[in-house]
Amino acid sequence: MKLQHQKQLFTLPENITYLNIASLSPSFKSIEEAGIKAVKEKSTPHLIPSTNFFEPVIELKKLFTKLIHADNYNRIANIPSVSYGLATVANNTQLKEGDEILLVEGQFPSNYYVWDTLAKKYNAVIKIAEQPENKIGKGKLWNETILNSISDKTAVIALGNIHWANGTIFDLKAIRKKATLHNALLIIDGSQSVGALPFSIKEIQPDALICAGYKWLFGPYGCGYAYFGSKFDNGTPIEENWSNRLNSEDFSRLTNYQSQYKPLANRYSVGEHGSFIYVQMQIAAIKQLLQWNPEDIQNYCLSITASSIERLRNAGCFIEENTYRAKHLFGVEIPKSVNLQSLKDKLSKENIFVSFRGNYIRISCHLYNTENEIIKLTDCILSEIS
Which residues on neighbouring strands pair with residue 363, listed in sequence order? 330
Neighbours of 290 (CB within 10 A): 13
Give the helix ranges, DSSP H, for 195-267: 201-204
Q: In this predicted model, what pLDDT tens digit does every residue of 19-41 receive, in sequence order?
A: 999 999 999 999 999 999 999 99
Q: Cα–Cα–Cα angle for 156, 157, 162, nearest 5°?
A: 160
For the chain, give every residue range classified as CATH 3.90.1150.10. 7-29+293-383
Which residues have a Cβ under 8 Å from the Cβ of 261 and sit 6 or more positions away? Answer: 237, 244, 245, 246, 267
- SS3 of 272-336: the string is CCCCHHHHHHHHHHHHHHCCCCHHHHHHHHHHHHHHHHHHHHHCCCECCCHHHECCCEEEEECCC
pLDDT for position 1: 60
pLDDT for position 356: 94
pLDDT for position 134: 85
Q: Which fold is adopted by the domain 45-289?
A: Aspartate Aminotransferase; domain 2 (3.40.640)
Angstrom distances, CA of residue 107 to CA of 10, 81, 124, 163: 31, 16, 19, 7
Mean pLDDT confidence for 196-220: 98
Mean pLDDT confidence for 249-254: 90
pLDDT for position 5: 85
> b/e for 334-365, b at 16 or more Cβ within 10 A?
beeebeeeebeebbeeeebbbbebeebbbbbb
End-to-end Cα separation, the chain, in angstroms: 41
Mean pLDDT confidence for 196-217: 98
Q: For domain 7-29+293-383, which architecture applies?
A: Alpha-Beta Complex (3.90)
Percent of the chain with pLDDT over 90: 93
Q: Output 9 or 65, whichever has higher pLDDT.
A: 65
Neighbours of 77 (CB within 10 A): 27
Model confidence at 68: pLDDT above 80: yes
Q: In this predicted model, what pLDDT tens digit does every residue of 158-202 receive, in sequence order?
A: 999 999 999 999 999 999 999 999 999 999 999 999 999 999 999
The per-residue DSSP string of 109-160 comes to THHHHHHHHHHHHHT-EEEEEPPPS--TTHHHHHHHHHHHH--TTEEEEEEE
pLDDT for position 2: 75
Task: Specify the amino acid at residue 206.
Answer: P
Q: In this predicted model, what pLDDT tens digit does every residue of 114-156 receive, in sequence order?
A: 999 999 999 999 999 999 988 899 999 999 999 999 999 999 9
Q: In this predicted model, what pLDDT tens digit does every residue of 224-243 receive, in sequence order?
A: 999 999 999 999 999 999 99
Backbone angles phi, psi at 376, to 5 degrees: -60, -45
> b/e for 189-207, b at 16 or more Cβ within 10 A?
bbbbbbbbbebebeebbbb
Contact 74, 244 (CB under 8 A): no
Backbone angles phi, psi at 105, to 5 degrees: -60, 140
CA dist 56 and 73 (Å) reads 13
Q: In this predicted model, what pLDDT tens digit does every residue of 75-122 receive, in sequence order?
A: 999 999 999 999 999 999 999 999 999 999 999 999 999 999 999 999
- The model's confidence at residue 370, banded by pLDDT at 50, 70 and 90, is very high
Neighbours of 19 (CB within 10 A): 24
For the chain, give every residue range classified as CATH 3.40.640.10. 45-289
Q: Cα–Cα–Cα angle for 130, 198, 360, nearest 5°?
A: 40
CA dist 165 and 285 (Å) reads 24
pLDDT for position 379: 96
Length, in residues, of the chain: 386
Contact 82, 212 (CB under 8 A): yes
Q: Which of 185-189, 276-280, 331-335, 358-362 has the lowest mean pLDDT?
A: 358-362
Model confidence at 358: pLDDT above 90: no
